[in-house]
C-alpha cells in the first residue's frame, strides 16, 4: 500500500512538473505501474538477500549438529531449536525448518525433504547445497566435511556481495540524489519563476519537448539502476 501511494504521488508530480495538468496523470499511469514493478523486484531482492544470510546460519548450525553425531533427521530438529533465539517465528528460515520437520514426521527421507525445500525456494545457494548433500549421501563420502566446505563457500560468496554493496552504498546515495535534483530544479522553477516555464505548457511543441525530456530522464534512471546492480 505504501508503494502504491508513492506510485500515485510520483504520477501526480510528473504530470504537474512536465505537463501542468492533472489530466496527464492518466496518460502517465504506465509509469506508476512500472514503478510498482520495479519496487516489487527490489523488495523481493532484499528479501532474498535476507533469506540467504538466514540460510547460511541455518546450514552452519546443521553442519555443527552433524559433526556432533546427530543423524540428518535429528540435526534438522536441533537446528530448528537453535534458530529460535535468532529469528522470529514468522521468519522464512523458521517456516522452512518447521515444514521440513513436519515432512520428516511423515516419514519422508532427509534427501526428499531437502529437495522439496529447494524446489520451493528456487535459489542457487540452496540448490547447490542440496545437490552436494544428495551426492555425498549417495556416494557415501565424508558428508560432514563436504557440507562444511559447501557452507563455507556460500558464506564467502555472501561476504563478497556484502562488501560490494558496502562499496556501492555511497554511489547509490549519489544516484538517488542525481535522480531527485532534476525534478527539484523544475519544481523550484515552477514555484519561484513560473513565467520562465509557462511557454512549455498548453501547446503541442511544449508537450513534445517535455515528453522527450521525461523519456530521457526515465532512460537515464533505468540505466543508472542497472549500473549499480552487481550480482556475484
How far is the CA of 211 from the CAs of 13, 45, 118, 197, in angstroms?
A: 14, 31, 46, 14
d(CA 76, CA 100): 8
| End-to-end CA gap in the chain | 32
How far is the CA of 27 from the CAs of 14, 21, 23, 181, 201, in angstroms?
A: 11, 11, 8, 24, 16
* Residue 126 covered by a domain: yes
pLDDT at 230: 67
pLDDT at 216: 92
d(CA 191, CA 185): 10
pLDDT at 231: 63
Domains: count for the chain = 1
pLDDT at 171: 83
Domain ranges, residue 138: 50-157
| Prediction pTM value | 0.71
CB 129 within 8 A of CB 154: yes
* Residue 186 covered by a domain: no
* Residue 153 covered by a domain: yes
Predicted confidence pLDDT, tens digits, the chain (232 residues): 888 888 899 888 888 888 888 888 888 888 889 889 888 888 888 888 888 888 888 888 887 887 787 777 888 888 888 898 888 888 888 998 899 889 888 888 888 888 888 888 888 878 888 888 777 777 766 666 777 777 777 777 777 877 887 888 888 888 888 888 988 988 888 888 888 888 888 888 888 998 899 899 989 888 888 887 766 5
| Number of other residues whose CB lies within 10 A of the CB of residue 141 | 12
* Residue 184 covered by a domain: no
Amino acid at each position: 500500500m505504501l508503494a502504491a501511494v508513492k506510485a500515485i504521488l510520483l504520477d501526480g508530480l510528473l504530470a504537474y512538473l512536465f505537463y501542468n495538468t492533472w489530466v496527464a496523470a492518466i496518460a502517465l499511469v504506465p509509469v506508476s505501474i512500472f514503478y510498482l514493478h520495479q519496487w516489487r523486484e527490489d523488495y523481493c531482492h532484499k528479501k532474498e538477500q535476507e533469506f540467504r544470510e538466514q540460510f547460511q546460519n541455518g546450514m552452519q548450525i546443521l553442519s555443527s549438529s552433524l559433526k556432533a553425531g546427530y543423524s540428518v533427521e535429528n540435526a534438522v530438529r536441533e537446528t530448528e531449536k537453535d534458530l529460535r533465539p535468532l529469528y522470529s517465528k514468522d521468519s522464512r528460515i523458521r517456516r522452512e525448518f518447521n515444514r521440513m520437520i513436519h515432512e520428516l514426521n511423515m516419514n519422508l527421507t532427509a534427501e526428499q525433504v531437502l529437495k522439496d525445500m529447494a524446489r520451493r525456494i528456487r535459489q542457487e545457494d540452496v540448490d547447490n547445497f542440496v545437490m552436494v548433500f544428495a551426492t555425498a549421501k549417495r556416494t557415501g563420502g565424508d558428508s560432514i566435511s563436504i557440507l562444511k566446505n559447501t557452507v563455507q563457500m556460500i558464506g564467502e560468496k555472501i561476504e563478497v556481495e556484502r562488501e560490494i554493496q558496502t562499496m556501492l552504498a555511497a554511489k547509490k546515495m549519489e544516484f538517488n540524489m542525481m535522480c531527485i535534483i532534476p525534478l527539484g530544479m523544475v519544481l523550484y522553477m515552477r514555484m519561484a519563476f513560473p513565467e520562465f516555464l509557462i511557454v512549455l505548457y498548453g501547446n503541442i511543441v511544449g508537450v513534445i519537448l517535455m515528453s522527450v525530456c521525461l523519456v530521457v530522464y526515465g532512460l537515464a534512471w533505468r540505466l543508472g539502476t542497472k549500473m549499480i546492480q552487481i550480482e556475484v
